[in-house]
Amino acid sequence: MSTTIAVAGKGGSGKTTLASLIIRFLHRQQGPILAVDADPNSNLGISLGLQAKRTIGQVQGEFLEEKLDIPPGLSKQAWLELKLHEVVEESEGIDLIVMGRPDGPGCYCSINVLLRDYLENLSGNYEWTVVDNEAGMEHLSRRTTQKIDILLMVAEPSLKGLRTAARLKALVEELKLSIGHQFLVVNRSSNDLPPPLKAEVEKVGLDFLGTIPQDEAIVQYDLEEKPLLSLPDTSAAAIAIKEMMGNILKPNKM
């Protein structure tokens, strides 16, 4: 059975880094993994050292904008599904798909529906699906990710970041989304949060998974354009993720 982990949060909170570190952990433990870059500002592939040659947005653009001749006997839906399979960038243990650009200025709705429906069919082939969502709350309101087993809301160590996580939680409840478990993660912070932030964490009302420390190794990897998959086990962030994932994957958490 496939398990879907989605990462959400305010822009700049470190969603892509968190998603990449989770994929790194799972890659070392078990697989196969489907990595989904659902952020139009696509960076997950770069962080993993993978490069998608085509995106779902490109396929949709070809389907909607070009007068393509669909082979006789092939329905439009079948043609579209065939082309979407070409979007999957395969590698050892990890496959990547990228949402890419929208189908029109300011309009992401139809591409999100397309991604959702495609993921529902595709994710069953993988043990894990890890989704790096776009910043903010729009992906949830448009129901880009229909079924989520684990939702990680990441926040930077600030009142604004934590209050965004609280608004995300409220939106999930309002939309009655199908989510198994929700957790809060504070990124780029020490374990000893200042009292005002500890109080705000309590107000969010989510299971607090812990903090990810500022890690100079990640900064250096970014400067050298090295994939986080090769981050050493001694990395402070990698150690924190290992502990978090151990807590998430305990039988009573799933």
| CA 108 vs CA 66, 104, 112, 114, 230: distances in Å | 19, 8, 6, 10, 33
* pLDDT the model gives residue 124: 86
| CA 201 vs CA 99, 116, 153: distances in Å | 32, 31, 12
For the chain of 254 residues, list the mean pLDDT of each consecutive stretch of 10: 88 93 93 89 93 86 68 78 87 92 55 67 90 72 69 95 92 85 95 94 96 96 95 96 92 54
CA separation for the pair 188, 215 (Å, rounded): 8
* pLDDT the model gives residue 76: 73
Tokens of 95: 């496959």
CA separation for the pair 74, 79 (Å, rounded): 6
* pLDDT the model gives residue 137: 56
Tokens of 223: 């400067």
Which helix H or strand E contains 182, and what residues bound it? strand 178-187
* pLDDT the model gives residue 147: 78
Give the DSSP letter string of 210-247: EEE---HHHHHHHHTT--GGG--TT-HHHHHHHHHHHH
Highest CATH level, class, for 3-248? alpha beta
CA separation for the pair 129, 75 (Å, rounded): 28
* pLDDT the model gives residue 171: 85
Domain boundaries, the chain: 3-248
* pLDDT the model gives residue 74: 80
Tokens of 51: 């490069």
pLDDT in tens, 73-92: 887 777 777 888 889 999 99
CA separation for the pair 102, 42 (Å, rounded): 12
* pLDDT the model gives residue 75: 78
pLDDT in tens, 131-149: 998 876 555 555 555 678 9
* pLDDT the model gives residue 112: 59
Query: In sequence order, what are the residues at sequence separation of 6 or more whose Cβ sits closer than 8 angstroms to the Cβ of residue 220?
Result: 226
* pLDDT the model gives residue 162: 95
